[in-house]
Amino acid sequence: IYQSFDWSDYMKETSSVAAPQECFKQAPTPPVNDFKVNMKLEALDPRNLTSTCIATVVGVLGPRLRLRLDGSDNKNDFWRLVDAGDIHTIGYCEKNDGMLQPPLGFRMNASSWPMFLLKTLNGAEMAPTKVFQPEPPTPKSNLFVVGQKLEAVDKKNPQLICCATVGAVKNDQIHVTFDGWRGAFDYWCKYDSRDIFPVGWCARAGHPLQPPGQKSATAPSRFKRPSGIPNPALPEGGSTGTGNTNGTSAVTPAANIVLHIRGSCSGGSPELPPS
């Protein structure tokens, strides 16, 4: 029987606690998102942080923006919070004596960049200063403790924010582990990463939260919404990219598979295909 995900019940069941707000470089009250699709702004090229490029808002989800660099393809979209420190109004780069650059993988000849820039900005809807929200302060040190719960962007599916646990802490980094996904999506990040959020942030932000995966071959996660029950966090008939309409994703987590291996069999070398 389907049960919507509740952090408080889940943390009781798992005898766990939430990482406190003070750990995060996130506003306690998620910022309002007044950006609109098609607005243009300046952003650093995520593939070449020395370049400031023109980006277009191609999607909005809670306080997050789905951005596409002008002159790039639709395969390199990235996400930013409306209070990200690396997005600015058009004109910011030039005001600071910088030059707008073509994105890595600019689809035209480099010599056509000046004309492309002129044309892409001509008559464009530029995001006004007021929609850019101030960046929250950085905590003074890494305050995370192993075992604490949080909400974290799945970097392989960056439209998703998921239930996660601090798996390890080392110097200024934490290991983010995704509950019920057996390590496949885990990563290290700095404690002040903008991709990690306190428990309850998605609910406060009006952003969908992916419930824990379910480490079973057959049993579907009791938190997964059966198809037919709409996700209220998504726009009407809304799709956010690679996810599906039930607010989960197409692939289920790694199964608990029982291997029956003869005592005489070595089983082969792990992680490598048979030679």
| Binding positions for ligand MLY, rule: CB under 6 A | 154, 157, 160, 162, 178, 181, 185, 210, 242, 249-251
Burial of 60 (0-12, 13-18, 19+ CB in 10 A): middle
Give the C-alpha separation, 132 to 155, whole Å: 24
Q: Nearer to ligand MLY by C-beta: 71 or 212?
A: 212
Q: Nearer to ligand MLY by C-beta: 132 or 185?
A: 185
Q: Nearer to ligand MLY by C-beta: 48 or 239?
A: 239
Which amino acid belongs to residue 275?
S
Longest dimension (CA), the chain: 73
Give the C-alpha separation, 38 to 66, whole Å: 11
Q: Cα 103 vs. chain centroid, distance in angstroms? A: 21
Give the C-alpha separation, 234 to 243, whole Å: 11
Q: Nearer to ligand MLY by C-beta: 35 or 197?
A: 197
The least distance separating ligand MLY from the CB of residue 137, rounded to whole angstroms, comes to: 29
The least distance separating ligand MLY from the CB of residue 161, rounded to whole angstroms, comes to: 9
The least distance separating ligand MLY from the CB of residue 188, rounded to whole angstroms, comes to: 15
The least distance separating ligand MLY from the CB of residue 48, rounded to whole angstroms, comes to: 26
